[in-house]
Amino acid sequence: MLGFTQNVIILGMGTLIEQFADYVTEVTGLPVAWRPRAPELLPHYLAQRYSIGEVEVGGHRFLGIALKDGADFTPAVFEKQLSKVAELDGFEGYCLIAESLSAYAVKSLQKRRIPFVIPGQQMNWPELGLAVRARKAKAKLQAVKAVSPATQAVLVGALTGQVQQPATPTMLAERLRYTPMTMSRALDEIEATGIGQIRRDGRERLLEFPTTGRELWQTALPYLRNPIQKTVRVLRQNDEVDTWVRAGETALAELSMLAPPKEPEFAIGRAQWKEAEKEHRKIPFEEHGTCVVQVWKYDPDLFAQTGRVDAFSLYLTLMDSQDARVQDALNETMERTAWS
């Protein structure tokens, strides 16, 4: 029996597993133990490729699958091989351990939700509540059911191609008009949802999204909400209204065969509305010359395209509409414009 730290007990270990145990303890603060399992438990062709063992982390038992050579490792093949490897039951889950992997293999593992650890570089182990790229232990991320408006702005920025990657909180703050602290909290939320990944470069935190386009949209959608905080009706009494971005069915009509509404609809951010409402009289009922103003939780002008709100935010404002015509037009618009 070989003990190399106070928190880690290793039985018959090689260098890779020692590094794995050290890294997991460093990140989680939990004791780690590895107990090798007999190679005979695996088919010969798999025993040549993997070493297996029981991994105990903070009292939880997992099957550890250590990759001996990652040169031609393919996640798709590994997923098929799991049916043979995972015949060992009695574990709470499993984890792939590798000294190094290609960027493509890492993205594919994440997409397939395969837990893995690359010692000293990256850990993605949902069963432990972890999906981190860090060398230091950090506070456990809080579960997120719906992201904040600031975080939603980051995601819409990524979907519309207006957020460059990798992005730091400072870069996001400058682009989206938030404070770096708010953007740092947005990174925490994005990491907690698993939509994006956070890695460190020195003291900088860098945000990256493993997917783009339709796949990113479908991943993010369950965490996104209608950005409208409130709706007011005002007289369209001066030219300022026409500088606001078109929204709602007005915007949708421009993108589809839907007939435009009688009252034009516009969108404006909360901060901008605080100033604008001093100059605009609110009208309780529809009248000649009135328009509807949506006051948004984030600035719609950030992602506006040709004077209209972006397609993703537009969808979120109308997704609960009970009008079948609106839903048909909305679906048509998303199919035709959102992925360009």
Assigned domain for 153 exists = yes
CB atoms within 10 A of CB 125: 21
Assigned domain for 79 exists = yes
If asked whether residues 157 and 246 sit together in one domain, one would say no
- Residues above pLDDT 70, as percent of the chain: 88
If asked whether residues 189 and 97 sit together in one domain, one would say no
Q: Give the residue carrying structure tokens 């404002």.
A: 317
Alpha-carbon span 276 to 38, nearest angstrom: 73
The pTM assigned to this predicted structure is: 0.58
Q: Which amino acid is at 257?
A: M
The overall average pLDDT reported for the chain is 84
Of 128, 159, 191, which residue constitutes the final position of a domain? 128
Assigned domain for 133 exists = no
Question: Model confidence at 159, in pLDDT bands (50, 70, 90)?
Answer: very high
Alpha-carbon span 228 to 204, nearest angstrom: 33
Assigned domain for 155 exists = yes
If asked whether residues 100 and 117 sit together in one domain, one would say yes
The three state secondary structure string of the chain is CEECCCCEEECCCCHHHHHHHHHHHHHHCCCEEEEECCHHHCCHHHHCCEEEEEEEECCEEEEEEEECCCCCCCHHHHHHHHHHHCCCCCCCCEEEECCCCCHHHHHHHHHCCCCEEECCCEEEEHHHCEEECCCCCCCCCCCCCCCCHHHHHHHHHHHCCCCCCCECHHHHHHHHCCCHHHHHHHHHHHHHHCCCEEEEECCEEEEECCCCHHHHHHHHHHHCCCCEEEEEEEECCCCCHHHCEECHHHHHHHHCCCCCCCCCEEEEEHHHHHHHCCCCCECCCCCCCEEEEEEECCCHHHCCECCECCHHHHHHHHCCCCCHHHHHHHHHHHHHHCCC
If asked whether residues 116 and 16 sit together in one domain, one would say yes
Question: Model confidence at 129, in pLDDT bands (50, 70, 90)?
Answer: low
If asked whether residues 161 and 114 sit together in one domain, one would say no
Question: Model confidence at 10, in pLDDT bands (50, 70, 90)?
Answer: very low
pLDDT at 136 over 90: no
Of 173, 191, 223, which residue constitutes the final position of a domain? 223
pLDDT at 131 over 80: no
Count: domains in the chain? 3
Assigned domain for 142 exists = no
If asked whether residues 40 and 121 sit together in one domain, one would say yes
pLDDT tens digits, one per residue of 176-190: 999 988 998 999 999
If asked whether residues 157 and 273 sit together in one domain, one would say no
Assigned domain for 144 exists = no
The CATH number covering residue 161 comes to 1.10.10.10
CB 236 within 8 A of CB 201: no
Tokens standing for 181? 């602290």
Q: What is the pLDDT of residue 183?
A: 92
pLDDT tens digits, one per residue of 303-315: 998 999 999 999 9
If asked whether residues 120 and 212 sit together in one domain, one would say no
- The average pLDDT across 253-280 equals 89
**Residues listed for the chain:** 340
Of 223, 238, 271, which residue constitutes the final position of a domain? 223
Instruction: Please give the residue that has the higher pLDDT: either 239 or 127.
Output: 127
If asked whether residues 209 and 251 sit together in one domain, one would say no
Alpha-carbon span 174 to 181, nearest angstrom: 12
Instruction: Please give the residue that has the higher pLDDT: either 127 or 219.
Output: 219
Per the DSSP assignment, residues forming a β-bridge with 198 are 207
CB 323 within 8 A of CB 329: no
Tokens standing for 4? 């190399």
pLDDT tens digits, one per residue of 195-231: 999 988 877 889 999 888 889 999 999 999 999 999 9
Alpha-carbon span 258 to 324, nearest angstrom: 11
Per the DSSP assignment, residues forming a β-bridge with 50 are 67
pLDDT at 111 over 60: yes
If asked whether residues 219 and 237 sit together in one domain, one would say no
If asked whether residues 234 and 325 sit together in one domain, one would say yes
pLDDT tens digits, one per residue of 20-69: 888 888 777 778 888 888 777 778 888 888 888 888 887 788 889 999 88
Question: Model confidence at 142, in pLDDT bands (50, 70, 90)?
Answer: low
Q: What is the pLDDT of residue 80?
A: 85
Q: What is the pLDDT of residue 88?
A: 58
Assigned domain for 282 exists = yes
Question: Model confidence at 2, in pLDDT bands (50, 70, 90)?
Answer: very low
Q: Give the residue carrying structure tokens 């209209």.
A: 308
The CATH number covering residue 120 comes to 3.40.1350
- The average pLDDT across 61-85 equals 85
Alpha-carbon span 205 to 184, nearest angstrom: 8
pLDDT at 11 over 70: no
- List of residues 6+ apart from 141 with CB closer than 8 A: 129, 188, 191, 192
pLDDT at 171 over 90: yes
If asked whether residues 165 and 242 sit together in one domain, one would say no
Q: What is the domain range of residue 182?
A: 149-223
CB 300 within 8 A of CB 245: yes
Assigned domain for 95 exists = yes
